[in-house]
Amino acid sequence: MSQKLGTQVENLDKLYNSFITENNERGFYVGIYDYVYYVIENKPVYDTVKSIRKDSLRIKNKLSSEELADNKKLDLWDAWETLMEIYSAFSIFEGKNHAKIKKEVDALLILNMDVVNNDFDSRGIKKDTIRIHAKRIHNYITTELNKKTLSTSNEKTLMYFSSSKGFYDSNGLEYSIRKNRSKLITYLKDGKKDGKFLTEIWGHNSLQQLSKDISEINKLFKKKLKRKENIIINNPTGGYQLNTKIYLIEFKDE
């Protein structure tokens, strides 16, 4: 079960990174379509979303109007509905069959899309706002899935790291990470770091390039060290961090 959930988190990360910094209108909405489709088609993933719906209904029946206005669970459900509306409208535009969605989601709202030169404009909702909604949902889902993964095993995998050698384990496997990428690991040693901060200290000033570099680090880490889980993950509140939930990392430069 843990491997399956870990793979789903990896797939969600890839889908999320494919659109979150995308400036092209069509690519941005296609990415959201693919992301939401994946969530709905994978039961353990979709169960996390349905739990938001269940909690929001329970909360609405108990809280005052003032408390409702400042409730994070309700904010999460609003964020999911925004993605669902975009997904549904895009499905119709592309001629996709969305009958399954109609059966599974209550009170589905279908957006009216303005299409000009193949560009999509989602009911006047700015893309920056949609990005915030997507980030909230992605962080929530991946955090919940990681919790389920950890519940199947309390043991962490021991990893060693040095700036000269890179990552290595007690079995002799090694990932000799490049010098500039090694610096990134060192910065993350002390905990979560904001993406913008990391791009500035790294020197390329591009969140999109940072995301690609981190994906490549994770890919090589898993390949060289024969692991299933990423070494760098998205933090639930934003930014990046080392995956200390899965790995116990000993830094040998200290």
Whole-number pLDDT of residue 154: 54
Most confident of 48-62, 149-163, 205-219: 205-219
Ranking 3-17, 35-49, 130-144 by mean pLDDT, the lowest is 3-17
| pLDDT of 132 higher than 80 | yes
User: Residue 38's Cα: distance from chain center in Å?
Assistant: 12
Structure tokens at 218: 């994770």
Say how far apart CA 139 and CA 99 lie, in whole Å. 28
Q: Which of 175, 185, 156, 166 has its CA nearest to residue 248?
A: 156
User: Contact at 8 Å (CB) between 196 and 241?
Assistant: no
Say how far apart CA 252 and CA 221 lie, in whole Å. 18
How far, CA to CA in Å, does 12 sit from each of 42, 46, 68, 130, 248? 11, 12, 29, 17, 24
Pairing of strands 166-168, 113-116: unpaired
Whole-number pLDDT of residue 119: 43
- Angle of CA points 17, 18, 19, to nearest 5°: 95
| pLDDT of 35 higher than 70 | yes
Whole-number pLDDT of residue 56: 59
pTM for this prediction: 0.49
Structure tokens at 210: 């940072």
| DSSP letter string, 127-192 | HHHHHHHHHHHHHHHHHHHHHHHHHT--PPEEEEEETTTEEE-TTS-EE---HHHHHHHHHHTTS-
**Per-residue pLDDT tens for 57-113?**
654 455 444 444 444 666 788 888 888 888 877 665 544 454 444 443 333 333 334
Please state which CATH number belongs to domain 155-251: 1.10.10
| pLDDT of 149 higher than 80 | no
| DSSP letter string, 200-232 | HHHTS--HHHHHHHHHHHHHHHHHHHT-SS-SE
| pLDDT of 120 higher than 90 | no
Whole-number pLDDT of residue 73: 60
* Averaged pLDDT for residues 134-150: 84
Residue 199: other Cβ atoms inside 10 A = 18
DSSP state, 44? H
**Per-residue pLDDT tens for 169-210?**
888 899 998 877 888 888 898 888 888 888 877 766 788 888
Handedness of CA 6, 185, 18, 141 (dihedral sign): positive
Residues ≥6 apart with Cβ < 8 Å to 96: 33, 90
Structure tokens at 22: 């995308």
* Averaged pLDDT for residues 10-20: 93
